[in-house]
């Protein structure tokens, strides 16, 4: 195998033949700053909650690495892949990159799941729903121990806005209404037309915010009872709305039932507000994602903003998944890092951010990691398969993902 610095990886993707340079360099990362994530609901490292191995507290000058390219190939028109190993003082790391040129005719990215918001499935099952999928990665953090629903915002090109909170978990990757890829905050905006002062806090979310009102419809899947009120059974209320009218107002929340129409669920002050909605009165519930993006999916932390690293945790190592945007080339960068395995220790958040910058990202977002980290891509034989090594030993059932679709122009 041929060795060359990490900084040349972006160039390697564009090259027609492998580069043959080899050297070691310094990461330049700060040495183990204290984490500022304590108390931040977006500070969790992975959905599975596993405590990561702590990285060796090496100074920047001792973190030089050598890089060995294992494989690279053309996945589809406008999509290139590369796999590489890095060796350094903290141990070895294996990474996988998809570089996607959205200027390629017939190429697009979309939100992927297995149908219902709260239904989990392996990434391969999700991508199989679209016959023209050529690659994909796992997506948002999710309620792994309970409802299975993603924590943030999701919008599909065909099905529209599916889920999301008004605030709190809104750091998103999306394709704007004009077709541009962006990474920014992206709130869900639910309203009751007849009651503009009534604040709905979330749509098809794993749980209703304390004191808030959540909206649920058939896209959620079967009802999950008091799990969406975090087990709270007192001072809660459910209002059912069908064809623009309130048909039921009760304190009971059922389990395992189909939702016909819209179900509003309130907790505390939210329940008190719902108590005033009388059966037979008009009520039209609508929601949209701000800015009307074509598709959207959230993660927890902005890794990079305007070329500047925005995370501070350089201690806890995990398998990782991230998405970045190279403004200069207008390309998307999908990165998966293996971890929790003998051949690959994973990345800290700072290391992940640094890699995204080295690959050319001006903006980057951290997606779910741990056993969820999965990348699929078509190989030279044209078969879509898992290309990384998920730390669970196989694909985990996850809430959603991002799929890359190619339709040959006519």
pLDDT for res 21: 30
pLDDT for res 42: 61
pTM for the complete prediction?
0.91
Do residues 124 and 113 lie in contact, with contact meaning Cβ atoms separated by under 8 Å?
Answer: no
Measured distance CA(410)–CA(407) in Å, rounded:
9
Q: What angle do CA 27, 89, 73 make, to 5 degrees?
A: 65
pLDDT digits (tens, 9 = 90+) for 175-190: 999 999 999 999 999 9
Instruction: State the pairing for strand pair 213-216/202-203.
Output: parallel
pLDDT greater than 60 at residue 8: no
pLDDT digits (tens, 9 = 90+) for 82-117: 999 999 999 999 999 999 999 999 999 999 999 999
For 23, the token pair is: 């050297």
Paired with 203 in beta bridges are 164, 215
pLDDT for res 41: 54
b/e map 86-123, b = 16+ CB within 10 Å: bebebbbbbbbbbbbbbeeeebbbbbbbbebbbbbbbb
For 67, the token pair is: 């890089």
pLDDT digits (tens, 9 = 90+) for 329-356: 989 999 999 999 999 999 999 999 999 9
Instruction: State the pairing for strand pair 401-406/107-112.
Output: antiparallel
- Looking from the CA of 114 toward its CB, the CA atoms found within 13 Å total 16
For 80, the token pair is: 């290139």
Do residues 142 and 162 lie in contact, with contact meaning Cβ atoms separated by under 8 Å?
Answer: no
Do residues 367 and 356 lie in contact, with contact meaning Cβ atoms separated by under 8 Å?
Answer: no
User: 3-class SS at 299?
Assistant: coil
């Amino acid at each position: 195998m041929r060795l060359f610095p990490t900084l040349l990886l972006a160039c390697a993707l564009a090259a027609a033949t492998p580069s043959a340079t080899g050297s070691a360099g310094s990461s330049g990362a700060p040495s183990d700053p204290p984490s500022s994530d304590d108390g931040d609901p977006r500070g969790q490292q992975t959905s599975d909650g596993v405590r990561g191995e702590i990285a060796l507290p090496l100074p920047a000058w001792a973190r030089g690495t050598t890089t060995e390219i294992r494989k690279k190939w053309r996945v589809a028109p406008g999509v290139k892949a590369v796999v590489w190993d890095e060796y350094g003082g903290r141990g070895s790391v294996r990474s996988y990159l998809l570089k996607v040129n959205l200027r390629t005719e017939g190429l697009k990215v979309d939100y992927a799941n297995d149908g219902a918001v709260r239904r989990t499935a392996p990434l391969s099952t999700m991508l199989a729903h679209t016959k023209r999928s050529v690659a994909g990665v796992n997506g948002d953090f999710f309620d792994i121990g309970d409802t299975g629903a993603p924590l943030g915002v999701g919008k599909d090109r065909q099905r529209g806005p599916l889920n999301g909170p008004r605030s709190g978990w809104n750091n998103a990757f999306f394709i704007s209404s004009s077709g541009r890829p962006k990474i920014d905050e992206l709130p869900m905006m639910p309203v009751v037309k007849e009651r503009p002062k009534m604040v709905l806090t979330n749509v098809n979310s794993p749980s209703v915010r304390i004191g808030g009102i959540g909206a649920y419809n058939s896209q959620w899947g079967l009802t999950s009872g008091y799990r969406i009120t975090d087990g709270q059974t007192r001072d809660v209320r459910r209002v059912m709305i069908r064809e623009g009218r309130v048909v039921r107002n009760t304190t009971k929340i059922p389990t395992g039932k189909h939702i016909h129409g819209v179900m509003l669920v309130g907790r505390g002050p939210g329940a008190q507000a719902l108590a005033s909605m009388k059966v037979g009165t008009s009520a039209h519930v609508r929601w949209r994602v701000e800015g009307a993006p074509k598709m959207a999916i959230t993660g927890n932390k902005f890794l990079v903003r305007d070329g500047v690293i925005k995370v501070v945790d350089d201690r806890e190592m995990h398998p990782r998944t991230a998405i970045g945007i190279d403004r200069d080339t207008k390309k998307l960068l999908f990165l998966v890092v293996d971890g929790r395995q003998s051949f690959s220790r994973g990345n800290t958040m700072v290391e992940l951010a640094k890699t995204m910058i080295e690959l050319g990202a001006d903006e980057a977002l951290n997606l779910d990691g741990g056993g969820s980290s999965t990348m699929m891509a078509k190989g030279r034989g044209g078969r879509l398969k898992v290309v990384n090594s998920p730390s669970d030993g196989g694909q985990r059932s996850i809430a959603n993902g991002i799929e890359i679709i190619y339709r040959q122009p006519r």
